Structure formats: C-alpha cells, structure tokens
Structure 1
Amino acid sequence: MKKWMTILGLCSLIFFSAVSTFATEASAASKVVYFEPNSLVKSDGTFWIWGGNQSVPTQIPELDQVEHSFLDLFVEKKDKTVWYWEQSSSSTVQMKQIKGLKDLVDLYPGSSEAVAVDREGKVYVLPTKSGTYIPQFDDVVPIAGLDDVIQVTNYWEQESNVLRWLFLKKDGSVWTNTGTTLDMFQPIPSLVRITAIDQNMALHQNGSVWLLPRDSFGSAVQTQGLPSIQRIASNGNTYLAIDEQSNLWFWGVSITGFSDGTTYHEQAVPVLLTTMKEVKEARIVERSIVALTKNGQVWTTSIDRETMPSNPTFTQIASGIAQIKTSNRHMIMQKNDGTLWGWGINKNAQLGSGDYEFQHDKPVAVQKPITVGLNGEAIPLTSGVILRNGQAFIPLRSVFGKMGADVVWDEASKTVTVSQSKDRNTLVKIQIQYKTGQATLNGQPVKLPNTPFIISGTGYLPLRFISENLGAKVEWKANDDHIAITMKE
C-alpha cells in the first residue's frame, strides 16, 4: 500500500538496557487488539508504530483511547472520533481531530488524497496540503452523489496515467470518478450485483470475476475459465481468486529480472494451483503469493517466473496464525496467542523486529510493545523497547537525565560516558566503548552482562548495570508489559 505521506522521526543517540527477567516473558501472549502492517493498538488504547527510524513498536503517547488505525497516520478513538497525527523531525507530535468524520469502516490512500467511508456509507475526500506537517482539514462533508458505499479501491490507468477510483454500493453497483478530481461520478454499467472489489477487479454475486482494462477506462470483461469464486485479491497486475471449494487460482502478471531488466509476463488464462488446498485468504507480497489456510498455516510460492505452473512448490512459513495484514512488500501475522510476526522486505524496519536486514525469508517476532516509567512517570521514547537474547533493551537518554546523570557521546572513539555528580564532585562515572564492548566504572574495568550495540545510529546499553550504579531499582511488571524504574530523591 502506497503511503500518501511519510512518517518522520528522529535518528539520535539513545541508550538502552537489559533486564534479565524478560527472558521468560518475551514469548507471552501480547495485548494487541488491532494491528496494521506498520502499527498496532493495545487493549489499554495506546497506539504504537514502527518502521523508518523506529525499528520496533514505539508508542505515540499523545494518542490514547485508540480503537484502530488507518494508513498509520489516522486513528479512530473509542468514541469514534477520527484524528490525524504526524511526528516532526524534532520528535514533536502534532495532532488534529478531523471534525465531521466519525465511525469509519475504511480509509483508502490515493496519490494526493485519501478517501474515507463511514458506517452510514457516506464518502469523504481528505486532500493533502503540501509543505505542512498537519493538513489543514476543514470540517469535512460527504461527497455529493455518493451514498450507501461499503467499499472503496483504486488503480492506475497506465495509458492515461489517471488514478481510477471505484466505489461499491450496497445495491451492488460500482461507481467511478468521471475526471481527474473526485467531484463527479457515474455508475459503471457493466458492473452490477457486485459483492467485492479490489483494484480493477470485481466479484459478481454469482461467483464470476470481472476486470476493468488497465490501460484506459472501458467496460469490464468477465474472466473465463473460473468456477464459482468466493474471494478475490489483486495488486493491480496479478490476480488471485479462491473458489467455493477453497482452491486457489492465479492469472495476470508474473515478473522476472530486476531494475532495467525487469520483464512482466502476462498470463491471461487462470490456472488452478493444485498444490495449495483449503485456502482462507491469499495476497501478493513483493514477488510472492502468500496463502493463509483454514488450519492457520501460512504458505508462500514465488511469482518470479515466466509462467506460473499448475503445481508450484509452496513453502510453509508459519502455523497457528489467526490473521494476516499485508502491504506491497511485507506481511505481519498474528498468532493465536496474540503475538505478531513479520515476514518479507525489511529494508526500513517494516517488520518491527529490531533490525534492518533487507529481507527475512523466515518469520521474525515483532517486538513486544513495552512501556517504561521512572518513579511512576511515563517516559516517552523516540524508539521502543528491544528484546534481544532474552534481555530487554530500553531507550534511556531522558531517564538518565532525570536520574541526575550527564551523558556524553564521543563519535570518533564510539565511547559513551555516563556521569553523576554532586557539589562538583563526581560520584559515578561509567564509560563504555562500543567497538570493543569494554566498560569501566569509576576507572575500574567491569564486565557487562550484554555487549552494547548500535542500530541505525542508535546506541544501546545495559540498564541494570547503569541504573543500579546510579542508585535506581528496575522492576518488570509482566501483567502490564511495563518496566518501572524507581530512584530515591
């Protein structure tokens, strides 16, 4: 899914710590009640994001009572109000309630706007404002001429280079914009009694599948050779369908080569993939078909080939999966125990696993969303808690300051100095060298329980060693997924 705005964040030096009691808690069921490919909502109404400068789920503390999110930049609260938020380069979060917008069922991105649909079937356009962090949305009003809408999608008409919007109404009719702007609409005569749409693809109530031409606007054409279809999915070029026997069908584009050598191979006739049965849901992710079966298994096979055979080899990558959410390049899966797992392209930390490996061919755990407090006060973090090797690493630059410590970073030697003074006398001085992992306490060598590391310009340090020497106590509260740091005044 193409984002129509970019989330900005800080890339600053932050210090983390390890807490040994996390070793048995890392696999416990999470409290995630809603998630998208790059965000989640916990049962306490907190909202968390990852990707870009945040390699793991990071709370946006300014947002509370959240029920679910749209496009990562919009959230709907439990009172059904809709809010837009964005984080500036100074890590300041700006928010704006979008008045007139409430109780959404969908919010779909476009090239220069987003389209929202509420539970009553009313449609709203939310344009972007170039050069501003928060678009100055006026009180939005429904689009005249569109009502009773239950689903929205869009696709690019390649020859005319026009973004074609489609709106499915409760009566099964499909409507589209008549020009380049969203102000005039008309029904598509060839699409009636439709039950679902995805990109230029439509599912008829009799189980037939119809496609609108991708080059320029025209009448929809029925895809021949398919049995009664129950579910459809498309990325605009490749098409998947699940029939009433839970079999999976493929047609459209497969891809070979990269960069200037990329070649698109058209396969017009649908092929039944006989090596995949009992399919519940299927999507295209990067150059793979991802299939979730009824027994909770996830399987993949490649479309990086000239022709899709009827018997491609599917590889199982996960089991015990309750649901999946996909983007163009990666997938997040939720297991039956509530935990999240990522798979696919991870160039920009899309999987929330605490690393920037370009791709993960095997599922990796999305880090648990964990909060941190000092003396009962919640500590906002510019990047979230990282679990590694059975230990928890937590951003602590702001915590060190509140503990009365100074933090100095020497870029040339990759050395951090944490010092605590009173009446001009240094009480504690800790130095850690990242290249070697060597550490000293008041000039004496010490052995750290965990080697410090740096991820994307962010430094990580062991909490227990530093906090205890600064006079603090660290407690892991498993029921709340919370780390409480207590320091005497």
Structure 2
Amino acid sequence: MIFRKGLIQLVILMLVVVIFIAGGGGEAGAAAAARPVSVSGGYAHGLAAWSDGSVTGWGYNKYGQAGDGTNIDQFIPKRIAGLTDIVQVAAGNNASFALNAAGEVWGWGQTYGSYISNDPALPYQKRGGPAELEGLNNVSFLTTDGSAGIAVNKDGTATLWYPSYDENDNMRMKVRYLPLPGITGIRSAVIAGNNALFLTDDGSVKQLSIYNSIMGRIRWASDPVTVNTLAASGIKQIASSGDNAFLLRADGQTLRWNKTLKAPSELAGLSSVYKLQTGYNKLYVLKTNGTLWQWNYNSGPLNKPFRVKGAESITDLWGSTGSFGFALDKKGSLLGWGEGFYGGLATGSGTVTNDDITTPIPVQAPLTFMVNGKSVDFYGTAGVIDGKLYVPYSSVFKALGVKVNMTQSNPDPKFNNYRFRVWSFAYGGTVIHIKASDPEQLFINGKKTESTITLKALSDTTQFPLQDLCELLGISLKWNTVSGEVWLGDSGE
C-alpha cells in the first residue's frame, strides 16, 4: 500500500510538472522579449532589427533615414512600418537598408527615399517609407557606404548596386545593379574606399576595385576584372571605415589594410579579439573576455587602443559610419557609446546630443502611448530627459481631451519688454499656463505658483513634461520604463 501510494504521488507530481512546462508556469512561460539581432549606425542615425522581425530607427532624420515617414529628428526609437521578418539592417551616412529572411532588400533615406509634398499634417516634412530594391533577390548579407552597396547572394556570388540619375532629369534616380565576377563562395563583404573586400567560406579575403579611376566613374560590366588576394586563409571577419579595412584572424589577431599598406599588417595590442566593427576613423573591438576596446587610429602616432570603461560581459558588437558604436550585454540590453550627434545614440535626451559618451549607456526603448485604451501615434519625437517623459503639444493631448493653446505674454519690463510664449492646457475645471521665461513661470487657474515646470526643446520643437502636466490636470499616467508602454487616462487605472 505504501509503495502504491508513493507511486500515485509520483505520477501526480510528474503530471503537474508537465502541465507547468506546457502552460508556461507563470513568468517562466511569458513570451520572451525581443532581442536585437542586427544593429547599424549611419552618420547620426541608428537602426536595429529585432528577433521578432521588426525594425526600429532613430536619430538624425533630414532625409527620412530613421524610417518614420518624416524628416523630424527622432530622439526615441520608432518602429518602422512595412518591414517584417527582417534579419539584418545596414546604415551608411544618411541612408538605410534592411534584408528580410526571404532575401529581399529595402532601402530608404538619402537618395533612396521619396519626398511627399502637400501632406495635410506635414506639408513640408513628409517622407516616403522603405522601398524594395527590386534588382536584389536571394540575398544573404548586405554592406553599404551610404551610397553604393554590395549584396552577397545565397549562392555565394555578389552584386554591386548604386544610384544613377536620368541624363535628362537629374531629379529622377534609378538603382543600377552589377553582378561582380571572378569571386565565388562569398560569406560577407565590405566597401573600403574604391575597393570591395570579400570574405570567402575558406577564410580567404579577396579585393576588387569597384571604381574606374581612369574614366572617373563606378565600375561597369565591360571593365576588366582584377581580383587580388589579401589573405589566403585564416580570416573570420572583416570590417571597414573609409579607405581602411580590418581583418580578424582566426587566432584572435587583428590586421589592418589600405592601399598604402599594400598588404595586411598586424596591430599591436589588439589580440584575443572575438569581433570587430568600425566607426569614422575608429576601430571597435570585442575581446574574448567580454571587454570592449577602441582605437582612434587617425588621431596621431602615439594613439593606442584603450578599454571602454563600464563595458563588461559584452556578447555582440556593431558599428556605424559616424563616431559611435553599439553593444549587447549578456542581459540582452542594447548599449551605445560615442559621439551621439542628433540623437544617434537614442538616449532620448537632447541634453547629451553632442556629448562624447565614454561609458556605454542603454539605448532608449521605443515608446508606445495608450490613451483611454486606444493607441495614439504622432509624428514628432518624444524624449526622456532627466528621467521624465517629454512630448510635443501635437501628441497625446488632443486624444486626452486637453485643449492646448499658445499666446504671447504682455511686454515684460524685466526683460526689455520682451513678449514670451505662454502655453495653456485646459482640462476639466483646471487651466494651466506656462510662461516660457527663464525660469519658466507656472499659473494654475490664473494664480501664479511657486512650483517649477521645465520646458525642453528637441527637433526644434517645444517639449512638455508629460508626467508633471498629467499630475496637475488630474490625469492618470503609468509608464513601464522597460517595455516603453505609456498608459494615459482610463487605461492607466
């Protein structure tokens, strides 16, 4: 009887375990958060492809390279509409590209994006979204210098693409495609100045000029083909910036090549390397012990590689054509460091726009706004400044039922009779006035208060502290800083 009772208990325990595993067992069964699988930076913008196939873009956006359909700089990453199942992104200068699992390629931004005139909401700031590069199919890898690009095909061959303009209409651009002969078994490629370098399956590196210096133009199909071997074997990765290329040998040693050096040469102090990437005149290195290193190689003969402080347990690394890089730590956090011009590091804050961030910091999570249970989207950028949410006036206020207005103050004798902007927010029985003086002055229902409220400016737009305003107006707000979800109104209860 004891044995039978024990057997029954064991069976019940096993059933419980099976049900727990199948059902997920609470948090253990919750859907895993998407992780970055590919990240790339241009001159001052960034792209990230995620494990769920989505893509986010942020930063400098004059040409629509952030992919949000505007030319408004975005200090917070936004999800790019129309892109699904993406496995790699490639940014260069002010252009952006994405590759999906089917081998199709999409491009947007400078030269590759369209201008949309007379849009009702954005008559001068509307931009087209990603457009398919129809001459590229069955692609496995992309690289670009921001103008031209090389697609490595799934059969191990490569195709050069570049923009070309109609002789009779220099505003009409078309993409030209040129298969590159003489090299097979290609795994990846980079563009180094006027040269293309190819890493093959056998670990060799081949070099082919993609520019006809005699004719002063990019390579044509009729041009003679000369393929040089830079390394016969033993190379596991290549990267480039400008005219310089860097080769990572299988033993962890880093090599440098350019037309002046003729042959790749070993770099002192850059051994035990797991992965390398580049920025503008910068080499970023991830060592096998999980530390990050940087070499500003054109900063003088005495400049040496240095360890990036605060970067521990790093598992992946990505670069840019700007002066910043990105890394992934073992917790799955996407980090950025360097010179984050125009929000290229996606810190969310204009206060660090032009700072050189020497210690990697988290890339801000995309923000999603729910007002009374309904999703609200807006064109302008949001911000996270000093730990607070900031939004432009044309964002969530209309959906909340808040009436926003801007007038001019009376002449202020303390400031040579200058007239300041006065913003008003009316909701329920409360009217808030913010006089944009220095410091700002706050009025509630016509009475001046001693409370402080600070306005900011991002993308040439006044930004308002959303949490402060909601508290003053009696509007519920909840913000999940990890997921980026913001609930306002009834949805925040």
Unaligned 5+ residue runs, structure 1?
1-27, 157-162, 192-201, 208-228, 254-264
Is the 8 Å Cα contact of residues 417 and 429 (structure 1) preserved in structure 2?
A: no
Check conservation: 1:239, 1:251, Cα contact below 8 A: yes
Q: Which has the higher helix share?
A: 2
Cα distance in structure 2, aligned partners of 1:143 and 1:304: 34
> What one-letter code is carried by the residue in structure 2 that aligns with 1:108?
T
Distance 2:147 2:267 in 1: 38
Query: Aligned runs of 1:222-301 on 2, under 5 Å?
Result: 231-238=237-244, 240-248=246-254, 270=265, 272-274=267-269, 276-301=270-295
Alpha-carbon distance in 2 for matches of 1:66, 1:437 = 47
Structure 2 unpaired stretches of 5+: 1-31, 61-71, 116-123, 409-417
Partner of 1:73: helix, strand, or coil? strand
1:79-478 mapped onto 2 (5 Å cutoff): 80-85=103-108, 86=113, 88=115, 89-99=124-134, 101-109=136-144, 113-120=148-155, 121=157, 123=159, 125-129=161-165, 143=179, 148=184, 149-156=186-193, 163-165=194-196, 175-177=208-210, 179=212, 180=217, 181-184=219-222, 186-188=224-226, 190-191=228-229, 202-205=230-233, 207=234, 231-238=237-244, 240-248=246-254, 270=265, 272-274=267-269, 276-303=270-297, 306-307=300-301, 312=304, 314-317=306-309, 318-328=311-321, 329-353=323-347, 354-355=349-350, 356-395=353-392, 397-409=394-406, 415-420=421-426, 427-434=429-436, 435-446=438-449, 451-467=454-470, 472-477=475-480
Distance in 1 separating the partners of 2:470 and 2:449: 15
- TM-score relative to the length of structure 1: 0.67
- Report the Cα distance in structure 2 between the residues aligned to 1:113 and 1:331, rounded to whole angstroms: 22
Residue-by-residue CA offset, 1:151-201 (whole Å, 9 max, x unaligned)? 343344xxxxxx34456666866555584333236543542xxxxxxxxxx
Considering only aligned residues, what root-mean-square deviation do their CA atoms show, in Å? 4.2
Return the letter of the residue paired with 2:97.
Answer: F
Q: CA offsets per residue over residues 303-353 of structure 1, 9 Å max, x none?
A: 3555358xx462332212121211242212222222222222223332222
Q: Which has the larger radius of gyration?
A: 2
Instruction: Tell whether 2:87 aligns with 1:50.
Output: no
CA distance in 2, matches of 1:444, 1:482: 34
Code of the aligned partner of 1:119: K
Q: Decide whether aligned partners of structure 1 residues 397 and 78 sit closer, same or farther in structure 2, where only a CA change above 3 A counts.
A: farther
Rounded to whole Å, the distance in 2 between the matches of 1:455 and 1:315 is 32
With a CA cutoff of 8 Å and minimum separation of 6, indicate the structure with the bigger relative contact order.
1
Q: In the alignment, what sits opposite 1:76?
A: 99
The letter of the residue matching 2:89 is S
Q: Does the residue aligned with 2:343 lie in a helix, a strand or coil?
A: coil
Structure 1's 316 and 99: CA in aligned 2 closer, same or farther, altered over 3 A? closer
One-letter identity of the residue aligned with 2:226 = I
- Is the 1:47–1:66 contact (alpha carbons within 8 Å) kept by the matching residues of 2? no
Is the strand fraction higher in 1 or 2? 1
Q: Quick one: structure 1 residues 462 and 132, their matched pair in 2 at CA, closer, same or farther if it must change by over 3 Å?
A: farther
State which drifts further: 239-248 or 66-75. Answer: 239-248
| Identity of matched residues, % | 19
- Decide which moves more: 46-55 or 72-81: 72-81
The structural deviation recorded for 1:294 is 0.8
CA distance in 1, matches of 2:279, 2:187: 25
TM-score, structure 2 normalization: 0.66
Query: Is the 1:433–1:439 Cα contact (8 Å) retained in structure 2?
Result: yes
